[in-house]
Amino acid sequence: MSSRKSTRQVPSPPAGRIIVDTSQWAFWVIQNQGGVAHPIHLHGHDFYLLGTAAATTFSDSKVSSLNFVNPPRRDVAMLQATGYLVLGFPTDNPGAWLMHCHIAWHVGEGLAVQFLERKDEIAGLMNLTAIQPACDNFDSWYSTSPYKKLDSGL
């Protein structure tokens, strides 16, 4: 058994850019202007936590303080109150993915984003015609169900 520590080098974004989508890596900067922290979760990926701080605003001058050498890998990270969170991940998983606050009612208030990754590859990975009958079945059930959801359902 080897005791060598594996390291992952995350590519730095180009100079002068805060958010980059190069079709190989996506970098997200999430700024929290409110006084409550939010656990941010990403579907479809583990992400690399490149930087986080409380009670401060992210700016270009903070790019040099981000950790691009062996950063922590997570699927949930805390976005601090009045702070920021910077994450990056390889865009290697075709699909429609959701990033959201893990506090369910915050999603209902809009703290979520869905993005398409490698859109042109999705159709070749699954039979998309099989999805419509499931949607139709849900719509039929939900129209008569006594269990109506008023929020996102997360």
Per-residue pLDDT of 7-44, as tens digits, reads 566 666 554 444 444 458 889 999 999 999 999 999 99
What's the pTM value of the predicted model, to 2 decimals?
0.76
The domain locations on the chain are: 25-144
CA distance 13 to 32: 22
What's the mean pLDDT in 64-87?
Answer: 96
pLDDT tens per residue, range 84-119: 999 999 998 999 999 999 998 888 888 999 999 988
Q: What was the pLDDT predicted at 3?
A: 47
| φ, ψ for residue 66, nearest 5 deg | -70, 150
What's the mean pLDDT in 45-50?
Answer: 96
Superfamily of domain 25-144: Cupredoxins -  blue copper proteins (2.60.40.420)
